[in-house]
Amino acid sequence: MIRIDDILEKIAGSYPEKDVTFLKKAYVFAGRAHKGQVRRSGEPYLSHPLEVANMLADMMLDKTTLVAGLLHDALEDTDVTTEEIRDNFGKEVADLVEGVTKISRVQETSPEVRRAETIQKIILAMTDDLRVIFIKLADRIHNLKTLKYLGENQQKRIAKETLEIYAPIANRLGMGRIKAELEDLSFRYVEPEAYFRIAALIEPQKKRAEEDLQKLKAELEQLTRDNKVPAQVEARIKRPYSIFDKMKRRNIDFDQVYDFLALRIITDTAKNCYAALGIIHQRWTHLPNRLRDFITVPKPNLYQALHTTILTAEKRTYEIQIRTLEMHNLAENGIAAHWKYKEPDPSHLIKEDQRLAWLREMVELYKEQKNPREFLKNLKTNLLPEEVYVFTPKGRVVSLPLGASALDFAFQIHSEIGLHAGGAKINGRAAPLRTILKTGDIVEVQPSSEKMPRRDWLNVVFTSTARHQIKRWLNQREKVKSINLGKKLWDKIQAKYSLPPALASGTLLLERLTQILTYRVRKIEDFYALAGSGKIIIDKNFMEKLSLEGRAEERKPAFLERVIGRISGKSGSGILVKGGEPGLVRLARCCSPVKGEPITGYMTAGKGISIHAVRCPLVAKEILANERLVEVQWDPSAKGAFKARLLIRSIDSPGVLAKVTTAIAKSEGNITKAEVLTFPDHRAQIVLNLVIRDLSHLESIMGQITRIKLISSVERV
Ligand code: MN
C-alpha cells in the first residue's frame, strides 16, 4: 500500500512548499472521513484515494487535482458534506469532488441508457472542469487493479464500461499511457478467451522475439549514431489488447499482425525524424502501404509520429515509430500536460484545444438532443472512431473514421472543397461522392464553383466536422431566404396599417421589437428572419402590441389575411407550438397529419413550421434535421377538416364500393376521390380520399369499413 509520504516525497521537488502542506491537510481530512472503512481487498479504504492521488502526482497535475483526488470518494461514501470540503479546501476542490461524485451516481439499469447517461454526465462535468476526468480515470484504473475482489458480473460490467467509455475518452484527450492501461486492465475481463489465446500465442515466441528485438535495437542505435542523428531506441512486444484490437479491426489472424514487435526512436527535431526514416528505408525494405506521416497530418487527438513497417532478411516485420521527445510526451500525457504543476485557464482550453473539438460538439449535441438513443448514435461516430487512412494524389495521408465517404474526405482537406465538391476520383476512377473510403484509397475531389451543399448531403457524410459545416452553410442560406421573405412580409403588412412612420422602420421599431418579443433582436434583419421562418407571426395582435398606443388601426384586413393565408397554406391550423408564439404553420403534404395523431413541427426556411405526423417516413427515418424539430401539439379546442387517404382491399364483388361509401356517409365522412382497381384473381383495391374531423373520426370510419363482409383490410396510406 502506498503511503502519503511517498507521494509527498515525489512532489516535494517540483511543487511549492504550500502545495505540499495543502496535500498533507487533505490526507488528514480524508483519513478521518474514511476511518474504519475497508475495501473489498481487505485494505483500509484510504488506500484507494491514496493510489488515485499518487497516479495524479505521476501525471504531475496541479495541487487542486491531487487534493480532489484524495477526497474524491468522501462525498459518496462518508458523512462529509460539500460545505465542509469547500470551507477547508476551497470551491474548486469542492466542485471537482462533486463532479466526480455525480458521474458515479448513475443508477439506470438498462445498459444502453446507462451508458448514454454516464457519458452525458461525464461530458457535462468535463466542460465545468476538465480535471474531473483525470480524477475519474485514475479512480477507474485503481478500481480495475482491484477488480479481482468483485463478483464476475460486476467485473464484466466495469471492464466493459471502461473499454466503451473511459478508454476512448482518454484516447480523444491524447492520454496514450492512461488509455493503454485502461485497455489492458479491462481486456481480460471483457474478452477472457481472446485474452488468454493471444497471451498463449505470444508466449512461445516471446524469447526469440525479445532476442530479435534487441539485435534490431542495437543495429538501429548504430545506424543513427553513424548518421549523426541523436536517438534513443526502445523495443517492445505489443500489448495484448492492441494486438487484439488490430486483429478485430482488420479482420486478420495473429500472424498477420505486423506490429506485434515494435520499436520506437525518440529524437530531437522533426527534421531528424524524417532523417531517421530515410536511414531506415535505405537499410531495409519497407511496406509502402503501412507508412504513415502523422507529423504532417496529426491525428485528431494531436498525436504526432512517423510510422513505418520494415521487412527484415529473416522475413519478419517490425513496426517502427519515430517521434521527437516533445511528441512522445504529448502522446503519453496528452491534454493533461497542460496541468503540469500549475493551473491553466481551462475555459480557454475548452474553447480552443483541438483535442476537445468532440467535447464541444458533444455539449452542443447534448443541448439539442437529450434523447439518449439519438445521443448514443452520434457518440459512436465521435467517440469511438475506427480509422481508415487514405491518400491525396500527392501522397499526403488523411485519416478518417471508418465509414467516411469521399465527401467527408473533401471536407477534411478544406471546408471550401467540401462545400463545392463536384465529383470524386478514387484510385484514378470517377466515383460518386457518397462512396465509402477504404484504407489505401487515393482520393481526389474536384471542386466546382457551381456546386453547393444540399440537405441530403447530411446523409452522405459521416464525420461530425463535415455535418457541422454543411449544416452551418444550409442554415446560413436559409437565414438569408428567411430574411428576404420576412422583409417582404413586413413591407406589405406595415403598409396596410397606419403605423406612425417612425415606427415602420429604423431604431424606434427595433426598440419596440426588443420590448415586445421574447427573442433577441439585435438588428432589423433578426426580426425579418424570425418573421420569415415563421417563429413569429405578424398579425393584428402583433401590430397592436407593436403600436405605441397599444392598438393598430387596420386598413385592409382582408388583404392581410390573404398574404398570411397564402404563405402558411392555412391560417388558424389548430396547432400549438411549445414555448413559442405560433408562427406560420402548415400541415405537411407528404403525410397529411390528422388532428389527434402524434405530430412534430419542423422549421422550414421561409415557409414557417410544417407539421409532420410522427409516422411520416421523413420523421421515422430521421431525415429531418434534428435541431429544427420543434415540439407542437394539436389545439384541443380547434375544429378542423383534415385529409386522409385509405387503401381498402377486398374481394371483387358488385356492390362493395357502394357498401363502403354508405358506411362512410353514415359516419359523416366526406369522400373527395375514389379509385377502384380490380385484379383477375377476384381481388379489388379501393383508394379513397376523405375529409374527416380528427383521428378518432377516422378510426371509427375505418372500424365501420372493416365490419363490411368481403373487406380483407383497411389501412391508411
Ligand atoms: Mn473511487
pLDDT digit string, tens, across residues 530-568: 888 877 877 777 887 777 654 444 444 444 344 333 333
* Mean pLDDT (whole number) for 475-502: 81
Q: In one letter, which amino acid is 98? A: E
What's the CA-to-centroid distance between 10 and ligand 1, angstroms? 22
The reply to whether 451 falls in a domain is no
User: Of the ranges 196-200, 469-473, 627-631, which one carries the lowest mean pLDDT score?
Assistant: 627-631
Residues 562-590 have pLDDT tens digits of 433 333 333 356 787 765 555 677 888 87
Same domain, 87 and 218: no
Q: Which amino acid is at 542?
A: F
- Looking at residues 236-253, what average pLDDT do you find? 78
How many structural domains are present in the chain? 5
Residues 628 and 544 grouped into a single domain: no
Contact in structure between 528 and 490 (CB atoms under 8 Å): yes
Asked if residue 255 lies in contact with residue 198, where contact means CB atoms within 8 angstroms, the answer is no
Tell me the CATH number at 142: 1.10.3210.10
Give the distance (Å) from ligand 1 centre to CA of residue 12.
25
pLDDT value of residue 551: 47
Lowest mean pLDDT across 3-7, 136-140, 253-257, 456-460: 253-257
User: pLDDT category, 207, cuts 50, 70, 90?
Assistant: confident
- Give me the domain span that covers residue 596: 560-634
Is the pLDDT at 257 greater than 80, yes or no? no
Task: In whole angstroms, give the CA distance from residue 416 to residue 675.
Answer: 51
Determine how many CB atoms are found less than 10 A away from the CB of residue 524: 18
pLDDT tier at 464, thresholds 50, 70, 90: confident
Measure the CA dihedral 224/296/378/128, to 10°.
Answer: 80
**Rounded to the nearest whole angstrom, what is the distance from the C-alpha of residue 160 to the centroid of ligand 1?**
17
DSSP, collapsed to helix, strand or coil, labels residue 251 as: coil
Give the pLDDT score at 259: 58
What's the gap in Å between 135 CA and the centre of ligand 1? 9
CA dist., res. 321 & res. 233, Å (int): 10
pTM: 0.56
H or E segment to which residue 343 belongs: none
Which of 590, 614, 634 is at the close of a domain?
634
Task: Answer for the pair 535, 519: CB distance below 8 angstroms, yes or no.
Answer: yes
- The pocket of ion ligand 1, defined by CB under 5 A, consists of 73, 139
- The answer for residues whose C-beta is within 8 angstroms of residue 423's C-beta and 6 or more apart is 430, 431, 432, 433, 445, 446, 448
Residues 167 and 284 in one domain: no
Average pLDDT, the chain: 83
Strand, coil or helix: 351: helix
pLDDT value at position 77?
84
What does the pLDDT read at residue 338?
75
Q: What is the pLDDT of residues 668-678, one digit of tens each?
A: 888 888 888 88
Name the active-site residue from 6, 76, 87, 631. 76
Query: Do residues 57 and 143 both lie within one domain?
Result: yes
Residues 148 and 174 in one domain: yes
- Spacing, Cα 408 to ligand 1 middle (Å): 41
Q: What number of H helices and E strands is found in the chain?
A: 31, 21
CA distances from 501 to 98, 496, 506, 508, 570 (A): 57, 12, 10, 10, 31
532 shares a domain with 658: no
pLDDT tier, 635 (very low <50, low <70, confident <90, very high otherwise): confident
How many residues make up the chain in this entry? 717
Ligand 1 center–CA 76 separation, angstroms: 9
Q: Which residues pair with 208 in a beta bridge?
A: none
Give me ligand 1 centre to Cα 11, in Å: 22
Q: How many A from CA of 380 to the centre of ligand 1?
A: 27
- Once rounded to an integer, what is the mean pLDDT over residues 260-272? 92
The one-character DSSP state at 166 is I
76 is an active site residue: yes
Best CA proximity match to 78, nearest among 137, 30, 16: 30
- Spot the catalytic one: 58, 77, 184, 544: 77
Shared-domain flag, residues 38 and 179: yes
324 and 254 belong to one structural domain: yes
Would you say residue 280 lies in a domain? Answer: yes
Does residue 9 share a domain with residue 138?
yes
Q: State residue 391's pLDDT score.
A: 81
Which of 576, 608, 634 delimits the end of a domain? 634
Q: What angle do CA 451, 621, 432 make, to 5 degrees?
A: 30
Within this chain, do residues 541 and 573 fall inside the same structural domain, yes or no?
no
Most confidently predicted of 48-52, 104-108, 589-593: 48-52
Those residues with Cβ within 8 angstroms of residue 100's Cβ, 6 or more apart along the chain or in another chain: 68, 72, 125, 132, 135, 136, 139
Identify whether residues 617 and 646 lie together within a single domain.
no
Ligand 1 centroid distance, CA of 139 (Å): 5
CB burial of 385-401 (b: ≥16 within 10 Å; e: otherwise) equals: beebbbbeeeeeebbbb
Note whether 625 and 672 are same-domain residues. Answer: no
Question: Rounded to the nearest whole angstrom, what is the distance from the C-alpha of residue 529 to the centroid of ligand 1?
Answer: 51
What cell was used for 357? 473539438
**Does residue 206 carry a pLDDT above 70?**
yes
> Read out DSSP for 491-517?
HHHHHHBT--HHHHSHHHHHHHHHHH-
Q: Which residues touch 637 (CB under 8 Å, ≥6 apart)?
A: none
Which region among 166-170, 273-277, 420-424, 652-656 has the lowest average model confidence (pLDDT)?
652-656
Q: Are 344 and 65 in contact (CB under 8 A)?
A: no
